[in-house]
Amino acid sequence: MPFERANIARLRGYVPGEQPASPETIKLNTNENPYPPPAAVAEALRTIEIAELRHYPSPLAEDFRVVAGLVHGVAPDCIVPVNGGDELLRLLLTTFVGPGETLAIMRPSYSLYPVLARVADCKLLEIPLNDDWTMPAGLPELLREQAAKMLMLVNPHAPTGRLLPVTELRELARDFAGILVLDEAYVDFVEPALGHDSIPLTREFANVVILRTLSKGYSLAGLRFGYGIGPTELIHPMASKTRDSYNTDHISQALAKAALESRDEASLTWQRVRRSRKWLRKELAILGIETMPSETNFLLAEIPAAIGASLLQQKLRECGILVRHFAEPRLENRLRITVGNETENNILIGKLREFLR
């Protein structure tokens, strides 16, 4: 007799991007920043006293909360630090969406969302994006009809890289009776000229929570540190009731604080990524591979049917380049390609030129 809960037994778990077997592999499949973290992070690591590790860390990473509050113009009580952004997603469901209640997501989207929904044993409402990847009309009405308790939106969107403007987000927050979760894992790579800033929504509305992470923009994917921003009535129950005790450790708190204090230095890498993103998109187009306009550190590339996305992924893998292929509707003929550093991008284009010749 199986011991798993029935909903877990039926579940197909989240499949992370492949990890390279060789350090020489060019890893363009998991959307990591190709440049090192700010220098202050290394200095913070050097100053860690091993003797301090015998004590429990600050339960709520108070020093980090203060810095994050100053960066985003909110009170520290509006910040909840978490062990990677994925923990915040789980906390949101645990705290606000009960078994049998409805979580709404767009399709396609971050492939962890459905897994977390099924772990929480809640209903999942998957709403297809339009053919041009825009949001469907009448979304608030659909959410109301389906009694959705929460809507999770990754913005800029994954896997397309499309950015939903704050004006549309504001209308959605106003018309939605549930909690609007804005997963902004890639927001640091948005073109500054767009002036995108969704933080004011957390002050205007009682139902908006924003996810931020240090994994992408701050080159700290291996640290597993993220945070939520929102009104205190949403942050407090997660911080004081459903969060794991001491969910972030002493070392990660110190390094995360140092990273956020070095925002200006980190932003130089975002600028380099944006420049490489533009170059890579142009070079792919020359090879006959069209890509979506992107405000992230990746491109969604449509592969000609004569080649096939799955086959091209395998060809690249054989020569030491990893890219991501999603075998699901609307994505079968596409590859998601992380923007690498200048050398990695040049090698990728060179190999593609060989294959496509």
Q: What percent of the chain clears pLDDT 90, i.e. is strictly above it?
A: 93
The helices-and-strands tally (H runs, E runs) of the chain is 13, 13
**Nearest to residue 252, comparing CAs of 51, 75, 48?**
48
Helices 85-96 and 112-119: angle between axes, nearest 10 degrees: 40
Checking if the pLDDT of 1 tops 70, the result is: no
Q: pLDDT for 183-197, tens place per residue? A: 999 999 999 999 999
**Mean pLDDT of the region 303-312:** 94
What is the model's pLDDT at position 256?
A: 98
Q: What's the pTM?
A: 0.96
The four Cα atoms 15, 17, 22, 27 give a dihedral, to 10 degrees, of: 180
**Mean pLDDT of the region 255-263:** 98
What is the model's pLDDT at position 10?
A: 87
Q: Is the peptide bond before 108 cis (omega within 30 degrees of 0)?
A: yes
- Asked whether 135 and 129 are in contact (CB, 8 A), the reply is yes
Checking if the pLDDT of 161 tops 70, the result is: yes
Give, rounded to a whole angstrom, the gap between the first and last alpha carbons of the chain: 56
Rounded to 5°, the CA angle 250-254-255 comes to: 115
Q: Is the peptide bond before 59 cis (omega within 30 degrees of 0)?
A: no
- Asked whether 72 and 199 are in contact (CB, 8 A), the reply is yes
- 60-64, 199-203, 327-331: which range is least confident on average? 327-331
What is the model's pLDDT at position 171?
A: 97
Q: pLDDT for 60-105, tens place per residue? A: 999 999 999 999 999 999 999 999 999 999 999 999 999 999 999 9
- Residue 9 token pair: 């037994």
For the chain, list the domains and their CATH numbers: 18-37+264-356 (3.90.1150.10), 39-261 (3.40.640.10)
**Mean pLDDT of the region 198-219:** 98
- Residue 252 token pair: 């990660």
Q: pLDDT for 172-185, tens place per residue? A: 999 999 999 999 99
d(CA 78, CA 209): 10
Beta-sheet pairing, 179-183 with 226-229: unpaired
How far does CA 224 lie from the centroid of its chain?
A: 12
What is the model's pLDDT at position 137?
A: 93
Checking if the pLDDT of 227 tops 70, the result is: yes
What is the model's pLDDT at position 22?
A: 86
| φ, ψ dihedrals at 305, nearest 5° | -60, -30
Q: pLDDT for 10-63, tens place per residue? A: 888 888 899 988 889 999 999 999 999 999 999 999 999 999 999 999 999 999
Q: pLDDT for 309-319, tens place per residue? A: 999 999 999 99
What is the model's pLDDT at position 21?
A: 82
Buried b / exposed e over 270-301, threshold 16 CB at 10 Å, is bebbbebbeebbebbeeeebebbebbbbbbbb
Give the number of C-alpha atoms closer than 13 A to the C-alpha of residue 14, restricted to the C-beta side.
14
**Nearest to residue 184, comparing CAs of 209, 219, 147, 167?**
209
d(CA 156, CA 111): 15
d(CA 61, CA 306): 53
What is the model's pLDDT at position 155?
A: 98
**Nearest to residue 340, comparing CAs of 355, 332, 331, 350?**
350
Checking if the pLDDT of 337 tops 80, the result is: yes
What is the model's pLDDT at position 267?
A: 98
Checking if the pLDDT of 4 tops 70, the result is: yes
Checking if the pLDDT of 118 tops 70, the result is: yes
